Amino acid sequence: MKRYRPYYKDNFRLAYPVVISQLGHTLVGLSDSIIIGHTGEVPLAAVSLGNSIFTIFMVMGIGISYGLTPLIAQENGRGNKAYCGALLSQSLLINMAVGLLLCGVIVIGSHYIGLLDQPAAVAVQARPFLQFLGFSFLPLMVYLSFKQFAEGLGFTRQAMNISIIGNVINVLLGITLVYGLFGMPRMGVIGVGIATLTDRLLMGTSMAIYVLKAPRFKPYLQQFNFREVSRSTIKKILGIGAPVALQYIFEVSAFSGAVIMVGWIGARELAAHQIAISLATMTYMMASGVSAAAGIKSGNHLGAGQPKELRLSAIASYHMVLVLMGTAALVFMLGNRLLPLMYIKEPEVIAIASHLLIIAAFFQLFDGTQVVGLGILRGMGDVKMPTVITLFAYWGLGLPIGYLLGIQWGFGIQGIWWGLLLGLLTASVLLFIRFQGKTRKLVAAGVRN
The residues, any chain, with a CB within 8 Å of residue 239's CB and separated by 6 or more, are 67, 383
What's the half-sphere exposure (Cβ side, CA atoms, 13 Å) at 177?
Answer: 19
pLDDT at 88: 93
CB distance 426 to 393 below 8 Å = yes
CA separation for the pair 318, 290 (Å, rounded): 9
Q: What is the DSSP string of 223-247?
A: T--TT---HHHHHHHHHHHHHHHHH
- Residue pair 340/353 in contact (Cβ under 8 Å)? The answer is yes
pLDDT at 28: 67
Nearest-angstrom CA–CA distance, 419 and 396: 11
pLDDT tens digits, 217-236: 999 988 888 778 888 889 98
Distances (CA, A) of 379 to 72, 240, 288, 296: 10, 10, 13, 6
Q: How much is the pLDDT for 449? A: 43
- The answer to whether 75 and 304 have CB atoms below 8 angstroms apart is no
- Taking only the tens place, the pLDDT of each residue in 148-202 is 999 888 888 888 888 888 888 888 988 898 888 887 788 788 888 899 899 899 9
Structural domain harbouring 379: 2-445
Say what the alpha-carbon torsion angle 376, 65, 300, 163 is, to the nearest 10 degrees.
Answer: -90
Cα 186 versus chain centre, distance: 31
405, 346 Cβ separation under 8 angstroms: no
Report helix, strand or coil for 386.
helix
Cα(173)–Cα(19) distance, rounded to whole angstroms? 24
- For the chain, give percent helix, strand, coil, nearest 5: 85, 0, 15
Alpha-carbon distances of 187 from 124, 267, 402, rounded to whole Å: 14, 21, 36
Side chain identity at 389, as an amino acid letter? I
> How many domains would you assign to the chain?
1
Side-chain-side CA neighbours of residue 344 (13 Å): 31
Residue type, 60: M
- Residue-level pLDDT at 394: 92
Q: Which of 293, 290, 301 is nearest to 443 (CA)?
A: 301
Mark the ranges of the chain whose per-residue pLDDT is less than 70: 1, 24-30, 447-449
